[in-house]
Amino acid sequence: AQTYDRDLADVFAIQSEIAKAIAEQLQAKLSPNEKKAIELPPTTDLTAFDLYSRAKSLFLKATFSSTNEPDVRKAIELLDEAVKRDPSFFDAYCQLAYAHEYLYAISGSDHPPARLALAEAAVQAATRLRPDAAETHLARAQYLYYGLRDYAGALAELEIARRGLPNDPRLFELTGYILRRRGQQEEGLQNLQRAVELDPRNFFTLQQIALSYQFLGRYADSIAAMDRALAIVPDSVETQDVRGLFYFFWKADTRPALQTIDAILAQRPSDVAIGADTWFLCALAERDPAAAERALVAVGDNNCWSEGVITLSRSFGEGLLARMLKDEARARIAFEAARAQQEKIVQAQPDYGPALCVLGLIDAALGRKDLALDEGRRAIALTPIEKDVTNGSRVLQYFAITAAWAGEKELALQQLEAGLRAPHASQMLSYGALKLLPFWDPLRGDPRFEKIVASLAPKNLAAPSK
């Protein structure tokens, strides 16, 4: 509540004074190391600090949007400038590592070894500056998790970091992600909930809690978590969009998602690209080529659909639309274009299973059966469900589609049944997707497929949509 009227150059001294004043008001006893940390400015270069602050804002904006990768890349440029101005800017190196890891592991579209090497270099720079700092151990944990998928190593680093950051929500957040990928969905959710208790207005963590509920098949809780997020940022188009999508997955009901799209078109048409992939998905589900064509226009240069690390390009969407219109010549041209794009991605990251899985799907669409199945099997080998439930089950699911498109119905059904048997992986298979999407049309009418669909149906389909 106090006012500070100082020269801007004193901003870091003011931050230290505020931290000390808060500690005194709380009657907290600070150790010598804590006092030293409070008094240590993050940088002596105000311009570098401004670059860092702008980068952090951009990165936070981008973390839950499929269309905001340019913001992450801009944040990286700003952070590169910041550390160039001040090579001892520890916090900037930690943020830079995380930004590179985001593009490498989360966006699904920038996974080459060079990106991982940039993240590693930033972690090494932070380690040289403060080898024993808790934040350094957190940065290493993030690198091991996002970059190397070394979950045991990441958890060990988090335990060390916890000694210096016992109530830092980031530690509980990352622990939640690790446990979730290991199939420990309930434990992962509990850690994410603890992170939100410590940081109640963390918009991104609330969205991740919603996804955890989805993985557990608790869609009503997913929607409630999204409502909490919307109470914090009411105009978040991404959150509104995903909230409507949950009804599609849960009840095979496209209406809430399409109502959201209609509202965006009426109130904020410039933001429609954010929800255009959902619009396209619903158009496919409803077999509505006119709506699908409008949605693809709105998609622009973005992907027509993203599901975790599985990303399908706009060209792929054009192929699906052409096939819906029974224009095989146009479909082939579109799928060939999609294959050329995807092949470049695979060549840059040959051991990345999700990218290879998408290549197999495209080859199945082009009728290259043997090649498609070989690519799909290799993708599964590179992304074992035992190591990573989230990514492994996605690859398994899309290999089932590949097999179905290749005319191997028995193989497709085997993959679906394997997904149902794997602990928690079955929740990656949604009732709405299997019930409505044309991806699964080759299997419709088969009793085993219909049994799988029925097993995923919600118990009360009459529950009203909100």
Query: CB of 432 within 8 A of CB of 250?
Result: yes
Query: CB of 195 within 8 A of CB of 172?
Result: yes
- Residue ranges of the alpha helices (H) in 268-422? 272-285, 289-299, 314-324, 328-348, 353-365, 369-382, 389-405, 409-421
Neighbours of 432 (CB within 10 A): 25
What local confidence, expressed as pLDDT, does residue 18 receive? 61
CA-wise closest residue to 362 among 316, 317, 398: 316
What local confidence, expressed as pLDDT, does residue 37 receive? 60
CA-wise closest residue to 353 among 388, 315, 401: 388
Enter the tokens of residue 406: 């290749």
DSSP 256-312: HHHHHHHHHHHH-GGGHHHHHHHHHHHHHHTT-HHHHHHHHHHHTTS-SEEETTEEE
Alpha-carbon distance of 384 to 399, in angstroms, equals 13
Residue type, 233: V
What local confidence, expressed as pLDDT, does residue 23 receive? 58
Category of 344 on φ-ψ map: left (φ > 0), alpha (ψ -120 to 50) or beta: alpha
Query: How many residues appear in the chain?
Result: 466
What local confidence, expressed as pLDDT, does residue 31 receive? 60
Dihedral, 141, 146, 149, 152 alpha carbons, nearest 10: 20
Alpha-carbon distance of 359 to 341, in angstroms, equals 9
CA-wise closest residue to 242 among 215, 217, 209, 278: 278
Query: Mean pLDDT in runs of 10 for the chain (466 residues)?
Result: 57 57 61 58 89 91 67 94 97 96 75 89 98 97 95 97 94 97 94 97 92 93 96 92 96 97 94 94 97 96 90 97 97 98 93 96 98 98 91 94 98 92 69 96 97 90 45
List the end-to-end C-alpha distance of the chain, in Å, as a whole number: 41
- Produce one character per residue of 198-219: b if its CB has 16 or more CB atoms within 10 Å, e if not: ebeebbebbbbbbbbbbbbbbb
CA-wise closest residue to 149 among 418, 380, 391, 355: 391
What local confidence, expressed as pLDDT, does residue 462 receive? 45
Beta-carbon contacts of 413 under 8 Å, excluding residues fewer than 6 positions away, are 400, 443, 446, 448, 449, 452
- Produce one character per residue of 242-255: b if its CB has 16 or more CB atoms within 10 Å, e if not: bbbbbbbbbbbbbe
